Amino acid sequence: MVLLDTDHMTLLERGGAEGARIRERLRGLPPDDVATSIINYEEQMRGWLARIAQAPTPERQIAAYGELKRQLRNYCDIAVVEYDDRAAGEFERLRRARVRIGTMDLKIAAIALANDATLWTRNFSDFGKVPGLRAEDAAL
């Protein structure tokens, strides 16, 4: 399984050359082998909710709600892996091992490990600290 990190979901949403490279790589995979995580959804949702809350005009709020809806559609089109008992167990194991990365990234790594997934990400400075985690940048 390939698990798309938040940065790769964002690149797919934006399009451009990097998004095109990711789409090309995805075409070579069975659709059932591609997912993202509920943590990635939470990260993006928090960002859009903050943007809506800070929108200074009704027009900017309307635009931000439109982007939020587009994001929702994107997440409806891909499998979203849960943060379940196995992932929570991996998360606790990594914390006990004193892997020093942010909580959200540690949860994403735990989900990838619990599901024997390869994480597609650009964040090797953090995810590279997680023992046993397979990670690559599909946008290269």
Q: Please report the DSSP string for 42-74 in residue order.
A: HHHHHHHHHHHHH--SHHHHHHHHHHHHHHHHH
User: What CATH number is given to the structural domain containing 114?
Assistant: 3.40.50.1010
pLDDT at 75 over 90: yes
**Has residue 26 been placed in a domain?**
yes
Q: How many domains does the chain have?
A: 1
Assigned domain for 93 exists: yes
pLDDT of 140 strictly over 90: no
* CA–centroid distance for 4 within its chain: 5
Please give the pLDDT value at position 15. Answer: 87
At residue 4 the predicted structure's pLDDT band, cuts being 50, 70 and 90, is very high
pTM score: 0.92
> Chain-wide mean pLDDT for the chain?
96
In a domain, 111, yes or no: yes
The answer to whether residue 62 scores a pLDDT higher than 90 is yes
Q: Looking at the domain assignment, is residue 58 inside a domain?
A: no
Domain containing 118 equals 2-39+82-136
- Say which range, 13-17, 52-56, 114-118, has the weakest mean pLDDT: 13-17
In a domain, 55, yes or no: no
